[in-house]
Amino acid sequence: MSVIYKADYVLPMDGSDPHTPGEVWVESGKIIRVGQGISATNPQAQVKNLGKCAIMPGFVNAHSHIDYTLSRNSHDALNLWQWLHRVGFRKGQTPDYELIAASARLGAAECARSGITCLADCSFSGAAAYAIDEIGLRGIIYKELFGQSMGADYKRQFALVLEEIRRLQEAVSGRISIGISPHSIYTSAKEVLSLCAKTYADINIPLSIHLAETGAETQFALHGTGPIADWRRSLGYEVNPSGCTPVQILEDAGLLRENVLLAHCVHITDAEVKKISSSGAGVAHCPRSNAYLGAGIFPFSSFRAEDARTGIGTDSSATCLRIDFFEEMRFAAAIHRAKAQDAQAVSAKEILEMATKGGAAAIGMGDVTGQLKRGLRADIIALDLGAMLPGEDIYMSILSRSPADVILCLVDGLAVDEDIDARTQELAYLMEQHTIA
Ligand SMILES: [Zn+2]
């Protein structure tokens, strides 16, 4: 099928200026051409004129956990380690799979409604892979593992995780890649991180890890002290100070490299920022989650100075309150300007670049999605600009939109299914039937 989408604004997000008006030609799920006058020279193609809209690449959510939608707003004022203890699906407090699957479906639909076409999601259950497949989104689902709870039997259990990854990859469409995610350096010992590095060398699957999210993580790693160390000891785990920072631990394990996505990176030095940036690893900046969990503020200016592959992530709606990518982007712009005491610290355009092209590069999918460019997949959104007044800056105007303004959301040129109401009802019904242990 060949369709030319036309609108008052087309933003390629590839470094070029917006086309006003502009057109995007989509054929067989791919972008064929972007620019002006395309329909005039191709009268055989179907034309969809969206009028006063902005067409742009869909957003890339560089770090999420859609499995956790059911825990949204369940507890207030928890620090990360308290959150992990109270809300996290740990041994003995994991909801039934049926419930997690419905939770993931609602989370996926909320992403789509928000203009997100591609996710990098960490999922312990694997339900997120089926959820984004069903809804029609693209993404990488990193199968999450907690190395410490595997105990001495970790090699056999790790092999089972790899088997599950293979099984999941076979069960879902080609839009979805299954990767692996050792949760963090404080829940997976060195031996498990090394096994992950070996896996990477053997089968080259994408990997993601939460890294340097809190100051407590650095304290845990360097000295074996602080609230995370205390929490791990209270659960019966051994805590041995390594004398290294979280970034050093990851580097020693051989996991600072391309196709590795580091979520958070809040508490790191400028030298470590340099190291991460030159390693080719991607970084997921989760501004609202870091703020609500009291974790801190991502060193945006340091990463920008090193031209790191950086995207924006919502984390789960159980830490950011709700999946609203526009709110996430606005919060990022506001907090970095406030921190720097400089309104020029980051522009609306730079935020939108991070949310599209930057996110795709961070998760290793820059040659697939994140820009309107010939040859990339047709992952496209259109935003209603009906309320836009003459003289508005187009990038600021887009940043001020909301999910209700997303009037078109395509992956591979096909509309994604974003029925939030039905999925909210389904999840609410199931939650009333189940008791979460
Ligand atoms: Zn996370």
CA-to-CA distance for 312 and 329, rounded, in angstroms? 8
Please determine, for residue 53, whether its predicted confidence score (pLDDT) is greater than 70: yes
**Helix or strand (DSSP H, E) at 5:** strand 2-7
Considering the domain architecture, whether residues 53 and 75 belong to the same structural domain is answered as: no
Task: Tell me whether residue 433 is in a domain.
Answer: no
Considering the domain architecture, whether residues 269 and 386 belong to the same structural domain is answered as: no
Ligand 1 centroid distance, CA of 394 (Å): 31
294, 329, 362 — which closes off a domain?
A: 362
Ligand 1 centroid distance, CA of 65 (Å): 6
Considering the domain architecture, whether residues 71 and 104 belong to the same structural domain is answered as: yes
CA-to-CA distance for 86 and 77, rounded, in angstroms? 12
**Which one, of 122, 85, 406, 88, lies nearest residue 286 by Cα?**
122
Task: Tell me whether residue 431 is in a domain.
Answer: no
Ligand 1 centroid distance, CA of 153 (Å): 25
The pLDDT of residue 77 is: 95
Ligand 1 centroid distance, CA of 313 (Å): 9
Ligand 1 centroid distance, CA of 123 (Å): 9
Ligand 1 centroid distance, CA of 311 (Å): 14
CA-to-CA distance for 253 and 318, rounded, in angstroms? 30
Ligand 1 centroid distance, CA of 373 (Å): 30
318, 341, 362 — which closes off a domain?
A: 362
CA-to-CA distance for 148 and 139, rounded, in angstroms? 27
Ligand 1 centroid distance, CA of 262 (Å): 10
Ligand 1 centroid distance, CA of 63 (Å): 6
Please determine, for residue 203, whether its predicted confidence score (pLDDT) is greater than 80: yes
Considering the domain architecture, whether residues 39 and 98 belong to the same structural domain is answered as: no
Q: Please tell me whether residue 207 adopts helix, strand or coil conformation.
A: strand
The pLDDT of residue 256 is: 97
Ligand 1 centroid distance, CA of 312 (Å): 12
Task: Tell me whether residue 437 is in a domain.
Answer: no
Please determine, for residue 324, whether its predicted confidence score (pLDDT) is greater than 90: yes
The pLDDT of residue 435 is: 64
Considering the domain architecture, whether residues 33 and 172 belong to the same structural domain is answered as: no
Please determine, for residue 272, whether its predicted confidence score (pLDDT) is greater than 70: yes
- In CATH, what number is assigned to the domain containing residue 130? 3.20.20.140
Considering the domain architecture, whether residues 309 and 354 belong to the same structural domain is answered as: yes
Considering the domain architecture, whether residues 389 and 344 belong to the same structural domain is answered as: no
**Which one, of 381, 430, 402, lies nearest residue 55 by Cα?**
381
Ligand 1 centroid distance, CA of 331 (Å): 18
The pLDDT of residue 286 is: 98
Number of structural domains (the chain) is: 2
Residues in the chain: 437
Ligand 1 centroid distance, CA of 15 (Å): 30
User: What is the pLDDT of the chain when averaged over all its residues?
Assistant: 96
pLDDT band of 89, cuts 50, 70, 90: confident
Task: Tell me whether residue 421 is in a domain.
Answer: no
302, 327, 362 — which closes off a domain?
A: 362
Ligand 1 centroid distance, CA of 210 (Å): 6
Mutual angle of helices 420-433 and 97-113, in 10-degree steps: 160
Which residue type does 401 have?
R
Ligand 1 centroid distance, CA of 344 (Å): 29
Mean pLDDT lowest for which of 43-47, 86-90, 413-417? Answer: 86-90
Mean pLDDT score, 385-395: 97
Considering the domain architecture, whether residues 90 and 105 belong to the same structural domain is answered as: yes
Task: Tell me whether residue 291 is in a domain.
Answer: yes
Ligand 1 centroid distance, CA of 117 (Å): 19
Considering the domain architecture, whether residues 160 and 221 belong to the same structural domain is answered as: yes
Bridge partners (DSSP) of residue 22 are: 7
Enter the DSSP assignment of 96.
P
Ligand 1 centroid distance, CA of 329 (Å): 17
Contacts of 388 (CB under 8 A, 6+ apart): 52, 397
Q: Which domain holds residue 32?
A: 2-57+371-414
Task: Tell me whether residue 22 is in a domain.
Answer: yes
Ligand 1 centroid distance, CA of 295 (Å): 12
Rg (CA), the chain: 21
- In CATH, what number is assigned to the domain containing residue 409? 2.30.40.10
Task: Tell me whether residue 353 is in a domain.
Answer: yes
Considering the domain architecture, whether residues 264 and 177 belong to the same structural domain is answered as: yes
Please determine, for residue 390, whether its predicted confidence score (pLDDT) is greater than 70: yes
Which residue type does 340 have?
A
The alpha carbon dihedral of 368, 407, 22, 333 has a sign of negative
Ligand 1 centroid distance, CA of 121 (Å): 8
Ligand 1 centroid distance, CA of 280 (Å): 20
**Which one, of 28, 41, 31, lies nearest residue 10 by Cα?**
31
Ligand 1 centroid distance, CA of 286 (Å): 9
Considering the domain architecture, whether residues 13 and 39 belong to the same structural domain is answered as: yes
Considering the domain architecture, whether residues 21 and 162 belong to the same structural domain is answered as: no
Report residue 58 CA to chain centroid gap: 13
Ligand 1 centroid distance, CA of 263 (Å): 7
Task: Tell me whether residue 11 is in a domain.
Answer: yes
Mean pLDDT score, 37-45: 94
Ligand 1 centroid distance, CA of 64 (Å): 6
